């Protein structure tokens, strides 16, 4: 079985991170790893992580430059075959790691599974992220309406050479990683939900549209990132 790295970006995550990590660690082998890039925080996140006393967890100082750079920092420190992305405040459901790894074939670059959107009390707000966002693979589809979401994604480590550095202007890292996977091979969707995607007042990611102008600017920046990817792939 392929080895697993989990790349997590964290900032002021003391409220949720222990439960998230416990849901992850029970699915990993002894040789797997969790890389947490921890941006300078004002709470007890680091102490909460340390309380788990798990040697598979490695905490590295975050750059303090926002969520994209924080994820980038975690990704470049991952050493194993398949890199899973993780937020600090969701819950991995049983079978996620096994189910995602089994979806990788020779040409698969990125695998993304469905998620169930819940509130703080695990009340279901939306049973399927895929249905809500009309998720599909492909550059054009996700340029028009991006459905790639990092907390549900895993990708081959060989993509890192194209992923980093993440273009400054692209809205989020997950759209970029999905784009890289689409161009380098095949992205695969798993219709099963393997995540409770928790929505609360402190979320960094968004699930709703911005203004028309904001959406236009995001698409322009995504196009610029696409051409940057093409340049990287020619080197």
Q: What is the pLDDT of residues 143-166, one digit of tens each?
A: 999 999 999 999 999 999 999 999
DSSP conformation class of 168: S
CATH number of 4-234: 3.90.550.10
Which regions of the chain does DSSP assign to beta strands (E)? 4-10, 33-38, 57-61, 82-86, 91-92, 108-118, 124-126, 153-156, 186-198
For residue 172, give the nearest of 221, 136, 227 by alpha carbon: 221
Cβ contacts of residue 105 below 8 Å, gap of 6+? 186, 188
**Residue 193 β-bridge partners:** 114
| Mean pLDDT for all residues in the chain | 96
End-to-end CA distance of the chain: 31
Q: What is the 3 state secondary structure string of 53-104?
A: CCCCEEEEECCCCCHHHHHHHHHHCCCCCEEEEECCCCEECCCHHHHHHHCC
Q: What is the pLDDT of residues 75-110, one digit of tens each?
A: 999 999 999 999 999 999 999 999 999 999 999 999
pTM, two decimal places: 0.95
Give the number of residues written for the chain.
235
Q: Where are the domains of the chain?
A: 4-234
């Amino acid at each position: 079985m392929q080895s697993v790295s989990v790349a997590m970006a964290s900032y002021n995550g003391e409220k949720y991170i222990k439960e998230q990590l416990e849901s992850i660690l029970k699915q990993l082998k002894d040789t797997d790893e969790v890389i947490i890039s921890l941006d300078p925080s004002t709470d007890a996140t680091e102490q909460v992580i340390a309380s788990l006393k798990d040697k598979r967890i490695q905490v590295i100082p975050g750059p303090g430059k926002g969520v994209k750079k924080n994820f980038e920092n975690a990704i470049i420190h991952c050493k194993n075959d398949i890199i899973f992305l993780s937020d600090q405040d969701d819950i991995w459901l049983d079978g996620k790691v096994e189910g995602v790894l089994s979806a990788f074939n020779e040409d698969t670059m990125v695998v993304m599974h469905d998620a169930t959107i819940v509130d703080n009390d695990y009340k279901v707000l939306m049973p399927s992220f895929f249905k809500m966002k009309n998720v599909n693979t492909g550059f054009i589809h996700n340029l028009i309406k991006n459905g790639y979401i990092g907390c549900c994604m895993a990708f081959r480590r060989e993509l890192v050479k194209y992923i980093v550095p993440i273009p400054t202007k692209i809205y989020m890292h997950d759209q970029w990683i999905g784009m890289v996977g689409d161009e380098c091979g095949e992205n695969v969707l798993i219709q099963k939900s393997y995540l409770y995607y928790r929505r609360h007042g402190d979320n960094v990611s968004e699930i709703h549209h911005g203004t028309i102008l904001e959406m236009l600017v995001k698409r322009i920046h995504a196009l610029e990132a696409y051409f940057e990817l093409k340049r990287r792939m020619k080197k």
